[in-house]
Structure 1
C-alpha cells in the first residue's frame, strides 16, 4: 500500500530538463512567470512554442528564446565541472526552499559527488551570516557557533563572503557546509575564497546557484542569493551587521518566509553591531551560545510544514510530473482583444492588487492570467509583493 511504502521520488527526463532550462533562461521569464506558464500550458515544451506569439500579443515585436544549443552547452559545462541542474521536487532540491515565494524551478548544485543529496536535501539547515569586515570577536564566535551546530547535526549555509561567512564555512567543513552563489555556479566570489571553496567541496560540501553558468555576480544578484540562503534554512543567525547591510536584507527575507531570526548582541558603539542589536529590539531571538539556538530551533524541526512533496505533489500549484508533457485544455489559448485592452487600460505605474484588477475588468481568472503573461513576456509588467501588478511603459519592442 502507498501508505506503508514510500514512493520513489520523481525526476525530470533529460528532454524535460532541457526544456525547463530553455524556458527559465528565455527573455522575461522568472520563477513566477515560469510557474504560470507551466500551469497554463501543461509543459515546458508547449510553453516554449507559445512564447514568441504571447510576447507579440503583449506588444513586443521580437522575442529572444533561449536556444536549444545554448541550453545543451550549459548542461554539458555543468556536468564537466561536477554540477547538476536539480528541478523543484527532485530529491536533492532543498525541501524548505520549495515553500518560499517564487522558488527557482531549477537549481545548480555543485559537489564532489554530483549526485549528492544529503546536504541539499536536508531540512536541518541553519544560516550564519554577518559583516564582511567583522571583528576578531565576531569571527571567533561564528567559528565556535558553526562548529557546535555542526556537532548537533545541522548543516550550515552562508554566502562565501569575507568575514563571518568565511568563518562559519571553515568551522563547518567537517560536517559539510553549503555556499549560495550570487553568480554562476562556476564563479567563486570573492576570488580570495577559492581555496576555501575547494576545501568545502573536498569535504563533501556543496554550492548552489540559480544563475546561468559563467555569470559574474552583480549588485542586483545578491538579494536573490540572500533569499536562497534564508529560504533553505530553518533560521538565520546574524553576527555583526551594519544598519544597511546585505545581512539585514537576508533577515527580511527570513521574516517574509516565516523563518526564525536570531541575532548575536554586540557593543552599542560598534557600527557593525547596530543591525543585529536593532533586530533584537524588534523581536529577534538573542543568541549567546549554541544552547540558545537549539532552544529556538528544535521546536520548529517537528512542525507540520509539508516538506515531503515531490514534483507530483505540488505545494504551490505546480503541475504533476506525468502532466508536464500533456498540453492543458483548462485555459484559453487566446483572449479577446477587448479583454486585453481593458486590462491594459486598467493597469498603470501604480501597483494594483490582482484580485481588484479581476473584479474591475470582469474577465475570467484564466483570461486575466493569460493576458498578464503576454504583457509580462513583452517586458511591460512588473509584479510586486504580495500580489500586486503595475505597468512598465518604457518597454522596448
Structure 2
C-alpha cells in the first residue's frame, strides 16, 4: 500500500520501469494507478492483473499495456535531453504536488532539481493581456523571486510568459501541457531553455505527446497543486485561469486575485474571484504574508511501493452485479456505494478497478464515480 513518510525515497530501476509501464497503459490514470498499487502491492503485480481485470469489467478487448521496450525507450530518450522521471517523495518532485489526490505517479522533470524543492507561487492570467497586466505580472514575479519563492506557471503567452521571464534568474518552473519534446507554444522553446539553469520544466505526459485541448486543465491542476497559492492576473469570465483558481481552492491552496477595471472584460474573472473571497493583491507582500503561516505547517509525502504483493480476493458474481447495478451516469460517492452494496471496501474497489480498466467507469473529484 502507498503510505506516507517524510523521508525521501528512491525507486529501484526495475520499479521505475514498472511504474512507467503501468501509468502509460490504457485506462490507467493517476487515481487508478494508486488504486492498483494499493490493491496489489506493486506495479509489476498490477501489470500482470490488468488483462483479467479488464475482462471481468466487461471489456471486449484488453487495453494496450505499455511494454518494457517502450518504457526503456522513453527513459533513454528523456535522459538524452536531461529529463528525469521521479516519483512522489524523490528529489525533484515538488513536495506539495505530491499531496494532491491525483498526483502523477511519475513526473518528467528537467532543469534545476533544487528549485523544485523550494516554495512555489503560481502566477497565471490572460494570454491577451493588457500592458498594465503584463507590467504588474513582471513586477510581482520579480519581487517573489527576490523573496526566494519559485514562480510556477504554464508557459503560455501573455501573463505566464511575463512571469516566467521576470523570475527566470531567481528560479521559475514551467508546467507543460504536452511532452518535453513538444513545447507549446513552439515559440516559447527558447524561453523554456532560459529557465533551466535556475528553474525548470515538468510534465506528466510522454515525451512526444502533442497537447490537446483537454490536456490544459490537467496541466492546470499541476500548476496549482505544486504551489502554496495561485495568483490570477487578468482573466475573462470564461478563462482557463479560473479553472486553475478553482482547482487551487479544491486542493486547499490560497487563491489570490489582482483587481482590474470593471470596464475591462479581461478583469471580469479576477474581480469575481475577489467577490467570492479570493485575497486581493496589489503587491508581493500581500502574498508573502498570507502564505507565511502555511510554510510553517508540516506535511507528509508519499513513500515508495512495498516490496510484497498484498492479498487479493476476487469479488463473486453477485457482489459484482449488485455494485454495477448501483452505478449510473450521475456520480456517486465510493463510501455511499460501499454502504448501499453492503460489500467490503476491498470488494467495491476491485469492481471499480475492473470497470475502469474496461473503459466503463469515470472517476470524479471528491471520491465520486459514475458509469460511462
What TM-score results when the alignment is normalised by the length of structure 2? Answer: 0.96
Aligned equivalents of 1:78, 1:338: Cα separation in 2: 47
Q: 1:163 aligns with which of 158, 180, 183?
A: 158
Taking only aligned residues, the RMSD between alpha carbons, in angstroms, comes to: 1.4
What are the Cα deviations for residues 264-296 of structure 1, in whole angstroms up to 9, with x where unaligned? 111110110001111111111111111222221
Q: Is the 8 A contact 2:362 2:370 kept in 1?
A: yes
Q: Report if the CA contact (8 A) 2:110-2:202 is conserved.
A: yes
- How many residue pairs match? The answer is 367
Residues 304-343 of structure 1: pairs in structure 2 closer than 5 A:
304=298, 306-307=299-300, 309=301, 311=303, 320-321=304-305, 323=306, 325-329=307-311, 331-332=312-313, 334-343=314-323
Give the distance between the partners of 2:349 and 2:287, measured in 1 at CA.
43
Kindly indicate whether the alpha-carbon contact (under 8 Å) linking 1:158 and 1:180 is maintained by their aligned counterparts in 2: yes
**Pair 1:166–1:7, CA change in 2 (3 A):** closer
Q: Distance in 2 between matches of 1:198 and 1:94?
A: 20
With normalisation by structure 1, the TM-score equals 0.90
> Gaps (5+ residues) in structure 2?
none
Q: In the alignment, which of 228, 251, 258 is matched to residue 252 of structure 2? A: 258
CA distance in 2, matches of 1:189, 1:175: 23
Displacement, 1:30?
0.6
User: Following superposition, which runs of at least 4 residues in structure 1 exceed 6 angstroms of deviation?
Assistant: none
Q: Residues 47-126 of structure 1: matches in 2 within 5 Å?
A: 47-63=46-62, 64-111=64-111, 116-122=112-118, 124-126=119-121
Which of 178, 184, 189 is the aligned partner of 1:194?
189
Q: How does 1:118-157 map to 2 (within 5 A)?
A: 118-122=114-118, 124-157=119-152
* Mapped partners of 2:12, 2:54: distance in 1: 28
Asked if the contact 1:25/1:66 (under 8 Å) is kept, the reply is: yes
**1:8 positional shift:** 6.2
Matches within 5 A, 1:146-295: 146-201=141-196, 203-295=197-289
Instruction: Give distance in 1, aligned partners of 2:101 and 2:310.
Output: 24
Separation in 2, partners of 1:12, 1:187: 27
Deviations 1:362-395 (A, max 9, x none): 1111111111111110001112231222111xxx
- Structure 1 gaps, min length 5: 1-5, 312-319, 393-397
